[in-house]
Structure 1
Amino acid sequence: MTQNIPPQAVFFDVDDTLYDHLIPFRKALQNILHTNTDFPYEHAYHRMRYFSDTLSAQAGGTPTHGRVLEDMRRNRFILSLSEFGLSLTPDQAQKVQDDYLGNQFAIELFDGAEGLIHELMSRGTVVGLITNGPPEHQFQKIKALGVNHVISPDRIFISGAVGITKPDRGLFDHVTESLGLTSTGCYYIGDSWRNDVVGAISAGWNVLWFNHRGVQPESEHQPHHVVTSYNDIAEVLLELFVD
């Protein structure tokens, strides 16, 4: 990656990148399944995300509505939690999903996220979002975080609205083409190895892997930077503006 060339654009993932996605997951398990403090929430969360991605890929991309979406959401909990000794019926899985969904709108930005977005924009950088999911659902989370008041709608790209799902490089190509950007001038910050690292690298973008949970790489792809906090992210990006 070329150093000291300010980024043309910086895009963020949403789930577990702008906010702590583990919080609504933990609350749902505690509220519905009455799991205790010793339950391995973080490990179970990673398995739920794995099955969510796997089932979505099997469905041809992130489902956005109807029976396919409902089945995927239930089955990801049934499959992931079975690995931790919790056998859920479809009805139980639906109750967990419903509680999980409700908790996703009581969320807050990670410390440092909003300040970094404002700082990048003040330096003339295009700032936007790229996220997988049904349009209405994802935008409700974006509104809950208040980011819609900072980032203009034409710079928010939701897979269900575009019709292309990460890690398909086509979603990233769509962003550059829509906004008249170059891939070499675009930076992407995301937590998911499969969706964010693989997808953005495949499109020729510069990638900051937000590995704040300390997980292992899943392939031979090489992110340009590995960061674990918004202080790290700010340090990497703002240094590029130094002459």
Structure 2
Amino acid sequence: METIIFDVDDTLYDQTLPFKKAFTQVIQEPFSDEKIDKVYIASRKYSDALFDEWEAGEVSTQQLHTYRITAACEEFGIGLSEQTAIAFQAAYYREQQRIQLFDAVEQLLDLLHQENKQLAVLTNGGEHHQRMKMDQLAIERWIPKEHIFISGALGHAKPKQEAFHFIEDKLKLDKAQTVYIGDSFDNDIVGAKQVGWKAIWLNHRHRKLPKSNVRSDATVFSAKELLDLFSTSIHWV
């Protein structure tokens, strides 16, 4: 059976929107949208750098959250107190409860569901927090709860092969008929390709291709391009 598996953050929805709103509310620097985008990208870099330690329980969730925003802001000459970093995270969490799917992703999910494709989600993060997002996105309109896989519940995070192999076993996947879609080259594309899946890089942040022997099977630069890719050939996988 053809199976399409999605990442969540910055793949199903625009993760910068809640970040920008929280930044404007709490930090209140006179930054343009483009500059806040750069702060956001830096925050993801610092989040990824500490993720393994967080997953192992070596740092707390609050430490992860305060570190990633304070370190990102420091790159741009903004000094944040711990209190301000905590206030930012609270605002960010509130705005994440208002997220919406990319319009083109919603259309794509409708299309794939109508074509009886097997759909699933694989996302890194804490179980409660990620489920909150997926409830807000109403993802179970297309993807059953038992097809939603969260690293915090699995005990393994992307790009570790164990996370991908767990889904293979649960869903009885045919590697040649499985494609993973995500925005992170290192976590999503490398992770999927190392276990023999196909992979589509949704590079809507126009990040540079990392130095790697791994290549995606396709790269698109917007959710609309992703929809067009499948609309052109529904049997893409």
Q: Percent identity?
A: 31
CA distance in 2, matches of 1:226, 1:67: 34
Q: SS at the partner of 1:112?
A: helix
Equivalent residue for 2:219, pick from 192, 215, 226: 226
Q: What is the identity, as a one-letter code, of the residue corresponding to 1:234?
A: L
Return the offset for 1:124.
Answer: 2.2
Instruction: Answer whether contact 2:54 2:61 (CA < 8 A) is retained.
Output: no
Deviations 1:128-175 (A, max 9, x none): 111111111101100111112321011111110111111112111111
Return the offset for 1:115.
Answer: 1.8
Moved over 6 A (4+): none
Return the offset for 1:77.
Answer: 0.8
Equivalent residue for 1:236, pick from 229, 233, 236: 229
Map of 1:174-189 to 2, 5 A cutoff?
174-189=166-181
TM-score, scaled relative to structure 1: 0.90
Return the offset for 1:234.
Answer: 2.6
| Higher relative contact order, structure no. (Cα contacts within 8 Å, ≥ 6 residues apart) | 1
Return the offset for 1:109.
Answer: 0.5
Instruction: Answer whether contact 2:182 2:202 (CA < 8 A) is retained.
Output: yes
Equivalent residue for 1:170, pick from 154, 159, 162: 162
CA distance in 1, matches of 2:56, 2:103: 29
Map of 1:103-122 to 2, 5 A cutoff?
103-122=95-114
CA distance in 2, matches of 1:123, 1:234: 14
TM-score, scaled relative to structure 2: 0.92
Correspondence for 2:49: 54
Correspondence for 2:40: 45
Instruction: Answer whether contact 2:123 2:150 (CA < 8 A) is retained.
Output: yes
Q: Does 1:78 align with 2:73?
A: no
Map of 1:1-243 to 2, 5 A cutoff?
8-38=2-32, 40-57=35-52, 59=53, 61=55, 68-220=60-212, 221-238=214-231, 239-241=233-235
Describe the shift of the 1:21–1:60 C-alpha distance in structure 2 as closer, same or farther (beyond 3 A): closer
Return the offset for 1:236.
Answer: 2.5
Describe the shift of the 1:56–1:120 C-alpha distance in structure 2 as closer, same or farther (beyond 3 A): same
Describe the shift of the 1:36–1:19 C-alpha distance in structure 2 as closer, same or farther (beyond 3 A): same
Instruction: Answer whether contact 1:210 1:226 (CA < 8 A) is retained.
Output: yes
Instruction: Answer whether contact 1:134 1:160 (CA < 8 A) is retained.
Output: yes
Describe the shift of the 1:124–1:62 C-alpha distance in structure 2 as closer, same or farther (beyond 3 A): farther
Return the offset for 1:218.
Answer: 1.9
Deviations 1:29-59 (A, max 9, x none): 11011122426111111110011011112x0
Return the offset for 1:177.
Answer: 0.8
CA distance in 2, matches of 1:100, 1:131: 19
Correspondence for 1:3: none
Instruction: Answer whether contact 1:167 1:198 (CA < 8 A) is retained.
Output: yes
Describe the shift of the 1:62–1:138 C-alpha distance in structure 2 as closer, same or farther (beyond 3 A): farther
Return the offset for 1:231.
Answer: 2.9
Deviations 1:166-187 (A, max 9, x none): 1112111111110111222111
Deviations 1:57-95 (A, max 9, x none): 2x06476xx962111111011111100011112111111
